Amino acid sequence: MTIQVGDKIPQATLNLLRDGVQAVDTNELFSGRKVVLFAVPGAFTPTCSAKHLPGYVEKMDAFRARGIDVACMAVNDAFVMSAWAKSQDVPADLHVLADGNGAFTQALGLELDATAFGMGLRAKRFALYAEDGVVKQLHVEAPGEFKVSAADYVLEHLPA
């Protein structure tokens, strides 16, 4: 079942590469914070690299000004996510997280079967806004689309 507005973010462990692979517990990531989490089908893929992640990098000041943390996630390993972040000049406070086996993505109910493209299980393209671990907004893209999970769109729809 897909997570809905009003649901609590499920507990899972994601990974981040900083001085080795570090575990990031979703309860700690979301607890007591306002967070925008956006997911991409894959690091280094065309739309993800040309539009999705760069849009959030460009708009980080606007998120910071609103007291909102930002995290990017993909079903890739921490080494790939770290290399992608470096190639995109991602600021340190935009967390680039790996859901290597897709467990968190599946817990959210937002998995994408990309086996037809040789990519296996991936995350759908989406963005969610949570306050203290509770989903307040959820923007899931239609297949092949890039609109409602873009940084500009999310910023426009955040509560004042």
Residues tagged active-site: 48
DSSP E strands in 18-75: the ranges are: 21-25, 34-39, 68-74
**Phi, psi for residue 80 in degrees, rounded to 5:** -65, -45
What residue type is 65 in one-letter code? A
Tell me the H-state helices in 50-146. 53-58, 60-65, 78-87, 103-108
Which residue carries 């079942």 as its tokens?
1
d(CA 71, CA 85): 12
Separation CA 86–CA 73 (nearest Å) = 15
